[in-house]
């Protein structure tokens, strides 16, 4: 170290630290916590998660971050936003107005150690200016599919040749992916304000030292191979997935949620006989669609466990930032008359929340009707549970295409003329998944992906190796 100044020598001797920043929303925080666990358990790295928000932390968030070194940044006001902003704009607004707090947090952490990496997710690229000023290398943690990442690399070209969306049946060609219809693009790409914001984020990707992708080669082989081709302006891609809550036998026996009524109910059901119905922490259905879903589940004659929230006739992401607004006083008062009595014994309704990871790991679960959030998809993969896709918002339609046409582990119900998935269609698709030959094929394919997922996160697995490479690089700093 003789060529270093005294100050540089002191800096080099400090413990390497990594700062990670998710976007607001539970779905963005969960996979980052899983990465945190791997970095702190297996590598000599100090890690801190800083969390922007527009509300004080909830009890659930505080519990989720127990034993995690974290900082909740001061909530930012939403007074200059519309009363019902789109999720993407709300997230971007929160990050933008949190920049002064992000700067203070980074400076404070840097005063205690040697910050060798600042890891943000897709919506956090505006903070790259701060990390650059502080000479901290920046990385992107991409919480969703390699398909969407590949698409976003193409997005800046749309400023020069805008794509017309309305009434179009053209296919979008995404490098390394199956072609998708324009109608299946993430909803935000059809909104000029959101599209412009996403283009600005995509332009900043080249400023990152690397992009950490929450997927793995066997799940999206062609896409990840394409992304790992060296190209100008494209940072190295590190596929580290599946970063998901993997429930092992010890967790099943001693987990904190083992006393949940739904798990006790599942214990009494035949193996592989129950359809789990859940639309994530943010997804909501209209009153009419809830009626159709209830009656469709009844028509299928299959066992089901349904995590049910209050209807929202305006916004399919109605509980993304308003979880408490969907707490049910009476979870049965908006269901079809007689439904609860007629399905008693075969169905169980759970208000607002269930321990999803443990439910999907339960041997009684034979299928999952899901909104296609990527965390939910990965939790299904690691447990070998085939899917019925019911995308609601954000990139979930793109995920549904990936699940059904590329991964081939799910069925997608048709939408009727009134814009609803109708009861007859629901009944047919549920029965097909749970009892039909098509369901058996999907189950076999999902079993193969489960085995691949277990292998890649094992001691010598490819995802484990990618995390080891990152950790070694960050320790050297």
Can you give 380-448 as a three-state secondary structure string? HHHHCCCEEECCCCCCHHHHHHHHHHHCCCEECCCCCCCCCCCHHHHHHHHHHHHHCHHHHHHHHHHHH
CA 362, 365, 371, 374 torsion: positive or negative? Answer: positive
At 84, is the pLDDT very low, low, confident or very high (cuts 50, 70, 90)?
low
- 3-class SS at 139? strand
Q: Give, in degrees to the nearest 5, the angle at Cα 401 between 399 and 407.
A: 85
The residue among 122, 77, 76 whose CA lies nearest residue 102 is 76
The residue among 317, 316, 293, 319 whose CA lies nearest residue 306 is 293
Catalogue the active-site residues. 28, 121
d(CA 272, CA 416): 29
Map tokens 């932390």 to a residue.
Answer: 57
- pLDDT tens per residue, range 147-199: 999 999 999 887 766 555 544 567 889 999 999 998 898 878 888 888 899 99
The counts of H helices and E strands in the chain are: 19, 15
Helix, strand, coil: what percent of the chain each, to 5? 45, 15, 40
- pLDDT tens per residue, range 317-356: 544 444 444 444 565 688 999 999 999 999 999 988 899 9
| Structure-token pair, residue 447 | 């079993």
Q: Give the pLDDT confidence score for residue 4 in this predicted structure.
A: 41
Q: Is the pLDDT score of 239 beyond 70?
A: yes
Helices 26-42, 374-383: axis angle to 10 degrees equals 50
- 3-class SS at 368? strand
Architecture of domain 8-241+458-476: 3-Layer(aba) Sandwich (3.40)
Q: Which CATH class is domain 249-454?
A: alpha beta
DSSP label at residue 73: P
Q: What is the mean pLDDT of residues 123-133?
A: 96
- pLDDT tens per residue, range 194-233: 889 999 999 999 999 999 999 999 999 999 999 999 898 8
Q: Give the pLDDT confidence score for residue 163 in this predicted structure.
A: 57
DSSP label at residue 459: T
Q: What are the residue boundaries of the structural domains of the chain, listed by start?
A: 8-241+458-476, 249-454
- pLDDT tens per residue, range 55-73: 888 888 888 899 999 999 9
């Amino acid at each position: 170290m003789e060529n270093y100044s005294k100050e540089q020598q002191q800096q080099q001797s400090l413990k390497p630290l990594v700062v990670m920043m998710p976007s607001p929303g539970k779905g963005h925080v969960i996979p980052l916590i899983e990465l945190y666990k791997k970095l702190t358990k297996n590598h000599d790295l100090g890690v801190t998660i800083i969390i922007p928000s527009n509300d004080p932390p909830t009890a659930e968030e505080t519990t989720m971050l127990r034993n995690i070194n974290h900082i909740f940044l001061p909530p930012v006001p939403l007074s200059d936003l519309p009363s019902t902003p789109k999720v993407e704009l709300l997230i971007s607004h929160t990050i933008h107005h949190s920049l002064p707090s992000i700067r203070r947090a980074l400076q404070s952490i840097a005063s205690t150690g040697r910050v060798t990496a600042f890891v943000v997710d897709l919506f956090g690229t505006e903070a790259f200016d701060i990390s650059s000023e502080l000479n901290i290398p920046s990385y992107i943690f991409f919480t969703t599919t390699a398909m969407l990442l590949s698409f976003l690399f193409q997005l800046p070209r749309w400023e020069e040749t805008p794509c017309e969306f309305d009434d179009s049946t053209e296919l979008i060609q995404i490098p390394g992916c199956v072609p998708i219809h324009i109608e299946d693009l993430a909803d935000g790409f059809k909104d000029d304000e959101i599209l412009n914001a996403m283009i600005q984020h995509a332009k900043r990707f080249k400023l990152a030292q690397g992009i950490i992708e929450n997927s793995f080669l066997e799940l999206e082989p062609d896409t990840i191979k394409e992304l790992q081709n060296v190209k100008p302006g494209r940072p190295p891609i590190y596929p580290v997935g599946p970063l998901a809550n993997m429930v092992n036998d010890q967790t099943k026996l001693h987990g904190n949620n083992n006393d949940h009524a739904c798990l006790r109910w599942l214990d009494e059901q035949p193996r592989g006989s129950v359809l789990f119905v859940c639309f994530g922490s943010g997804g909501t259905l209209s009153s009419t669609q809830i009626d159709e879903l209830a009656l469709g589940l009844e028509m299928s004659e299959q066992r089901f466990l349904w995590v049910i929230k209050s209807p929202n006739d305006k916004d399919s992401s109605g509980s993304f930032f308003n979880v408490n607004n969907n707490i049910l006083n009476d979870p049965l008062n908006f269901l079809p008359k007689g439904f609860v009595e007629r399905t008693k014994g075969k169905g169980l309704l759970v208000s607002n929340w269930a321990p999803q990871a443990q439910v999907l790991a339960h041997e009684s679960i034979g299928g999952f009707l899901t909104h296609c959030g990527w965390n939910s998809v990965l939790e299904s993969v690691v447990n070998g549970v085939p899917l019925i896709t019911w995308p609601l918002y954000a990139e979930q339609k793109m995920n549904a295409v990936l699940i059904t046409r590329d991964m081939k582990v799910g069925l997608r119900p048709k939408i009727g003329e009134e814009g609803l998935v109708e009861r007859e269609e629901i009944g047919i698709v549920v029965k097909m998944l749970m009892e039909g030959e098509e369901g058996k094929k999907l189950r076999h394919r999902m079993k193969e992906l489960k085995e691949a997922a277990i292998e890649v996160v094992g001691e010598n697995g490819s995802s484990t190796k990618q995390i080891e490479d990152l950790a070694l690089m960050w320790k050297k700093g």
